[in-house]
Structure 1
Amino acid sequence: MTHPASSSLTGLSVQADGSRTVHRALPEEVAVAIVFNGSTQAVMMASPTDLADFAHGFALSEGVITDLSQIENFELVDHPNGLEARFWLAEDRAEAIAARRRLMAGPVGCGLCGIDSLEQADRDLPQVGGAGLRFSYADIAGATDALRNHQPLHDLTHATHAAGFLQPGKGIILAREDVGRHNALDKVIGALALAGIDPASGAFVMTSRLSIELVQKTAVTRAPVLIAVSAPTAYALRAAKAAGITLVAFARGGGFDIYSHPKRIIPEVPNVP
Structure 2
Amino acid sequence: MAARVHISQPGLSVQPDRAVAVHRTLPEEVAVAMVFDGSSAAVMMATPADVQDLALGFALSEGIVTAPDQLDGFELAEHPNGLEARFWLREDRADALAERRRFMAGPVGCGLCGIDSLDAAARDLPSVGDGPRFTRAEVARATDMLRDQQPLHDQTRATHAAGFLLPGAGIVLVREDVGRHNALDKLIGALARQGIDPATGAVVMTSRLSVELVQKCAIAGISTLIAVSAPTAHALRLAQGAGMTLAAFARGGAFDLYSHPHRVTEKVSDVA
Tell me the TM-score normalized by structure 2.
0.95
Task: Evaluate the alpha carbon distance shift between residue 103 and residue 29 of structure 1 in structure 2; reply closer, same or farther with a 3 A threshold.
Answer: farther
Separation in 2 of the partners of 1:7 and 1:121? Answer: 36
How far does residue 23 in structure 1 lie from its aligned partner after superposition? Answer: 1.1
1:35 maps to amino acid = V
Separation in 2 of the partners of 1:59 and 1:271? Answer: 31
Question: CA contact under 8 A between 2:167 and 2:270: conserved in structure 1?
Answer: no
2:61 maps to amino acid = S
- Matches for 1:251-262 after TM superposition, within 5 Å: 251-262=250-261
2:81 corresponds to? 81
Separation in 1 of the partners of 2:103 and 2:31? Answer: 14
SS of 2:165 mapped into structure 1: strand
2:52 maps to amino acid = A
Task: Evaluate the alpha carbon distance shift between residue 220 and residue 189 of structure 1 in structure 2; reply closer, same or farther with a 3 A threshold.
Answer: same
How far does residue 112 in structure 1 lie from its aligned partner after superposition? Answer: 2.1
- Matches for 1:89-108 after TM superposition, within 5 Å: 89-101=89-101, 107-108=107-108
- Confirm or deny that 1:188 pairs with 2:187: yes
Task: Evaluate the alpha carbon distance shift between residue 79 and residue 264 of structure 1 in structure 2; reply closer, same or farther with a 3 A threshold.
Answer: same
How far does residue 271 in structure 1 lie from its aligned partner after superposition? Answer: 7.6
2:174 corresponds to? 175
1:58 maps to amino acid = F
1:116 maps to amino acid = D
> What's the RMSD between the two structures over aligned residues?
1.9
2:218 corresponds to? 219
Separation in 2 of the partners of 1:122 and 1:272? Answer: 34
2:198 corresponds to? 199
- Confirm or deny that 1:139 pairs with 2:166: no
Where does structure 1 lack aligned partners over 5 or more consecutive residues? none
2:46 corresponds to? 46
- Confirm or deny that 1:248 pairs with 2:247: yes
SS of 2:101 mapped into structure 1: coil
Query: Which deviates more, 209-218 or 260-269?
Result: 260-269
2:4 corresponds to? 4
- Matches for 1:141-160 after TM superposition, within 5 Å: 141-160=140-159
Separation in 2 of the partners of 1:272 and 1:45? Answer: 38
Aligned residue-pair number: 272
1:129 corresponds to? 129
Separation in 1 of the partners of 2:206 and 2:176? Answer: 10
1:203 maps to amino acid = A
SS of 2:154 mapped into structure 1: helix
Per-residue CA distance 1:16-67 (angstroms, 9 max, x = gap): 1121222110000111000011110000100011111100000000111001
How far does residue 130 in structure 1 lie from its aligned partner after superposition? Answer: 2.4
How far does residue 176 in structure 1 lie from its aligned partner after superposition? Answer: 0.5
How far does residue 102 in structure 1 lie from its aligned partner after superposition? Answer: 6.5
Task: Evaluate the alpha carbon distance shift between residue 28 and residue 121 of structure 1 in structure 2; reply closer, same or farther with a 3 A threshold.
Answer: same
Question: CA contact under 8 A between 1:54 and 1:187: conserved in structure 2?
Answer: yes
Task: Evaluate the alpha carbon distance shift between residue 106 and residue 125 of structure 1 in structure 2; reply closer, same or farther with a 3 A threshold.
Answer: closer
How far does residue 96 in structure 1 lie from its aligned partner after superposition? Answer: 1.6
Separation in 2 of the partners of 1:161 and 1:237? Answer: 21
Separation in 1 of the partners of 2:74 and 2:134? Answer: 36
How far does residue 13 in structure 1 lie from its aligned partner after superposition? Answer: 1.7
Stretches of 4+ aligned residues off by more than 3 angstroms:
102-108, 270-273
2:229 maps to amino acid = S
Where does structure 2 lack aligned partners over 5 or more consecutive residues? none
1:37 corresponds to? 37
Task: Evaluate the alpha carbon distance shift between residue 147 and residue 128 of structure 1 in structure 2; reply closer, same or farther with a 3 A threshold.
Answer: same
2:242 maps to amino acid = A
Task: Evaluate the alpha carbon distance shift between residue 272 and residue 217 of structure 1 in structure 2; reply closer, same or farther with a 3 A threshold.
Answer: closer
Question: CA contact under 8 A between 1:210 and 1:233: conserved in structure 2?
Answer: yes
Task: Evaluate the alpha carbon distance shift between residue 22 and residue 107 of structure 1 in structure 2; reply closer, same or farther with a 3 A threshold.
Answer: farther
2:217 maps to amino acid = T
Query: Which deviates more, 171-180 or 82-91?
Result: 82-91
How far does residue 12 in structure 1 lie from its aligned partner after superposition? Answer: 1.8
